[in-house]
Amino acid sequence: EDKVVQSPLSLVVHEGDTVTLNCSYEVTNFRSLLWYKQEKKAPTFLFMLTSSGIEKKSGRLSSILDKKELFSILNITATQTGDSAVYLCAVDDDYKLSFGAGTTVTVRA
Amino acid sequence: GAVVSQHPSRVICKSGTSVKIECRSLDFQATTMFWYRQFPKQSLMLMATSNEGSKATYEQGVEKDKFLINHASLTLSTLTVTSAHPEDSSFYICSANSEGVRTDTQYFGPGTRLTVL
């Protein structure tokens, strides 16, 4: 059965800290890996990764994929309280998304 | 950016009743819509995929007679939970895209919190 596992399940940091979120996966027909941010309601799209070793960046967020070891990391630098959210990793398995349970990030002022 | 709305945002109903949840794409035509269910502290689980004008494709373990999906137009899909029971209480989220089944262009609705008493 396909599986997407995120770690840690939750973490608490202070503003300015850097966080690293992990996502490992095991799917049959990998097409891409996606990261989302979920704040109370709808997930919002952050990144889509299809190739190993190519870092995607957007402001203070960056992400990279390792297709050999089947994992991805999401980094957030200089965290702010507005970064507090659940970060979801999802894998496109033949056009269907399988989600991990998410990592809850709490950034304290 | 593309906007997807859901209605209602929250619903409380008695066991045995049916509940209809609407998902609308407000500024684009959604050829494909997805319905997910999210239990507390758990992943979003894909329930079904629907394409406008055709029957929905349900994921394994999802009862199609219990969760009726209608994608009657390019801007509206509905999920009806029939004869709801307390175990159906969950957060239901839809997503939509306009380019077939490309997953990087899925836009999520705000979700509907269903509580069955």
- What pLDDT digit, counting tens, does each position of B49-72 carry? 988 888 899 999 999 999 999 988
What is the distance in angstroms between the Cα of A92 and the nearest Cα belonging to chain B? Answer: 7
Mean pLDDT, rounded, for A31-50: 90
Q: Which two tokens stand for residue A73?
A: 């990391």
pLDDT for B84-98, tens place per residue? 999 999 999 999 987
Contact B103 A95 (CB under 8 A): yes
- Mean pLDDT computed over A38-55: 89
Residue B72: other Cβ atoms inside 10 A:
11
User: Does A60 or B29 have the greater pLDDT score?
Assistant: A60
What pLDDT is recorded for position A75? 98
- β-strand pairing of B67-73 with B76-81: antiparallel
A97 and B46 within 8 Å at the Cβ level: the answer is yes
Q: Assign B100 a pLDDT band (cuts: 50, 70, 90).
A: low
Using an 8 Å CB-CB cutoff, list residues of chain A that contact chain B.
4, 31-32, 34, 36, 41-45, 48, 88, 90, 92, 95-102
The confidence score (pLDDT) of residue A29 equals 86
